Amino acid sequence: MNPEQGQVLGYTTSPSSPYYFTFIVNKESKVFEGDFVIVRDGEQLILGQIAKIYRRTFHSLDISLAVEKDFVEYRRSVVVAKVRVLGAIRDSERLESAFPVDFGLPVFKAPGDLIAKVAAGENVILAVQLGKIVGTDISIKLDLKRLLEGNILVAGAPGSGKTYTSALLAIQCARNFIPVVIFDMYAEYSALINKLLHLHKKEITIEVKTFSTFEKRNTELLRIDFTEIGPKFLQSFLGLTEIQAEALDNTLRELRMRGVGSPSFDDIYEILKEKKRFHPVARSTLLRKLERMHEMGLFKFEQSTPISHIIRPGKISIIELDRANFETIEMTISWIFNKIMASKDDNKEGVFLILENAHEFRKIIQKILRAGRKYRVSLCVVSDRIAELYELIGLCSNAFLHRILSRHDMEALERHFPIHPSVLKQLPNLRTGEAYIVGDVVTFPVIIRVG
């Protein structure tokens, strides 16, 4: 790649350091904050990103350069671009720049293929394409293995493209035989994913199955035997006292010893009646709470949907929860995660979970974010209220940041991700479908148009 090809944007000037350099912008050149530029300094090719553009009057040191390069205006002022150095490029490998950029060197626009290659990093094992770098026709190839080694944040204002990005992530995972489960709060993923698959039906063959917590057209009813939820979660969910929780746990254990795998409400009632030491008031309160669970419709006293129907390599399972209440959603997520933990040895490729409106379920997602890696689970946290996730953002290794308007959200991102102020400044101006990729999967933040 020859950096001397193309239009000269300007010439380097003072001040300069290993981390920043400035250049006087040619009168005919159009440059914008966020543009990538290159400059050759000896054997090094320096890649940088414009962080700031401003106008200044000539320093005495610049006059000879300005006259020579025909930058002089009658006001004796010029447009200057401040560039953040991203690294020195040698054989398409990014190295840390150790020396300030020299004075008077020509600056060029960085080619898209160079940006894509350097941003993706070395040793890409499982390359996937999620979009093209904005301002170019070059797709960036991200390492799916590196992307799924941690958790992912997909954030942005409503209508900025979060669901589309999450759907593409799901398709790319399924194409590579990684099971995907989507907790869909608005019943929108099924139509979107099937539409995307229809556009690429000759290239992609993926099984998509939609489940629902209620009887719905074109969905399979998801059934969960409440005895599989676990006594601690039941105690928290139903608000049981220690005595009630112990009585319920002993009742279920006794039924299992009798060979009753999926007890009915009557089975539990009969056992509880036999417990003479169990206070009648506590017993009746517990039974009323169990009846409330039974009336939800999801937690039946019958066999659960086999987890193998939900989690399978190359399959996308969409759990539609648009008609479910908060408790039902939380228990559904918990049940599936518990099943994944129990079947760790069967999920050799890992499992990719996508959770919409994640800020509403901080308690359960904290458990998944902290423990998921041990069970090869990568959680994609989708939210338009980043500030409400607080420290949980710090448990995400990578992020796709769409248009973000809230100052509090940007402050939360700045605390937990190494995002440069010049990047944060661009987030409110992103168009629908554009996203900043930051984190371990890229060597430096880059904007892509998802699709």
**What is the full DSSP assignment across 155-182?**
E-STTSSHHHHHHHHHHHHHHTT--EEE
The span from the CA of 114 to the CA of 95, in Å, is 14
CATH for 402:
3.40.50.300
Contacts (Cβ under 8 Å, ≥6 apart) of 33: 50, 51, 52, 53, 422, 425, 426
pLDDT digits (tens, 9 = 90+) for 52-72: 999 887 654 455 555 555 554
Residue 257 pLDDT: 83
The span from the CA of 220 to the CA of 240, in Å, is 32
Q: Would you say residue 49 lies in a domain?
A: yes
Q: Does one domain contain both 328 and 284?
A: no
Q: Does one domain contain both 91 and 169?
A: no
Q: Does one domain contain both 327 and 433?
A: yes
For residue 185, with 0-12 CB atoms within 10 Å meaning exposed, 13-18 middle and 19 or more buried, which class applies? buried
Residue 61 pLDDT: 46
Q: Terminus-to-terminus CA distance in the chain, angstroms?
A: 27
Range list of β-strands (E), 71-143: 77-90, 93-95, 106-109, 127-133, 139-143
Domain boundary, last residue among 250, 274, 300: 300
Which residues of the chain, if any, have pLDDT below 70? 1-5, 58-76, 91-93, 98, 122, 201-204, 226-238, 261-265, 276-277, 293-302
Token pair for residue 384?
Answer: 């338009």
309 in Cβ contact with 223 (< 8 Å): no
Q: Would you say residue 23 lies in a domain?
A: yes
Residue type, 64: S
Q: How far is CA 424 from the centre of its chain?
A: 17
Q: Does one domain contain both 195 and 342?
A: yes
Domain boundary, last residue among 85, 110, 135: 110
Q: Would you say residue 431 lies in a domain?
A: yes
Q: Does one domain contain both 428 and 338?
A: yes
Residue 72 pLDDT: 47
Domain boundary, last residue among 241, 269, 300: 300
pLDDT digits (tens, 9 = 90+) for 106-135: 999 998 888 888 888 767 777 888 999 988
Q: Does one domain contain both 238 and 382?
A: no
Local structure of 10: helix, strand or coil:
strand
Residue 74 pLDDT: 41
DSSP single-letter state for residue 374: G
Residue 236 pLDDT: 65
Token pair for residue 152?
Answer: 């992912």
pLDDT digits (tens, 9 = 90+) for 209-228: 999 988 888 899 888 776 66
Q: Does one domain contain both 161 and 16?
A: no
Q: Which domain holds residue 68?
A: 8-110
Range list of β-strands (E), 297-406: 299-300, 315-320, 351-355, 377-383, 396-401
Token pair for residue 404?
Answer: 């973000």
Q: Does one domain contain both 316 and 293?
A: no
Closest CA to 296 of 259, 262, 261, 323: 323
Residue 164 pLDDT: 96
The span from the CA of 96 to the CA of 89, in Å, is 9
Q: Would you say residue 285 lies in a domain?
A: yes
Residue type, 137: D
Which parts of 11-101 fold into alpha helices (H)? 63-68
Q: Does one domain contain both 211 and 243?
A: no
88 in Cβ contact with 45 (< 8 Å): yes
CA angle 367, 208, 336 (to 5 degrees): 25
Q: Would you say residue 368 lies in a domain?
A: yes
Strands 106-109 and 8-16: antiparallel
What number of other Cβ atoms are within 10 A of residue 75's Cβ?
9
Q: Does one domain contain both 398 and 427?
A: yes
The span from the CA of 212 to the CA of 222, in Å, is 6
The count of domains in the chain is 3
Q: How far is CA 121 from the centre of its chain?
A: 19
Q: Would you say residue 230 lies in a domain?
A: yes
Local structure of 430: helix, strand or coil:
coil
395 in Cβ contact with 151 (< 8 Å): yes
Q: Does one domain contain both 296 and 356?
A: no
Q: Would you say residue 2 lies in a domain?
A: no
Q: Does one domain contain both 230 and 217?
A: no
The span from the CA of 372 to the CA of 377, in Å, is 5
Q: Would you say residue 244 lies in a domain?
A: yes
Residue 261 pLDDT: 64
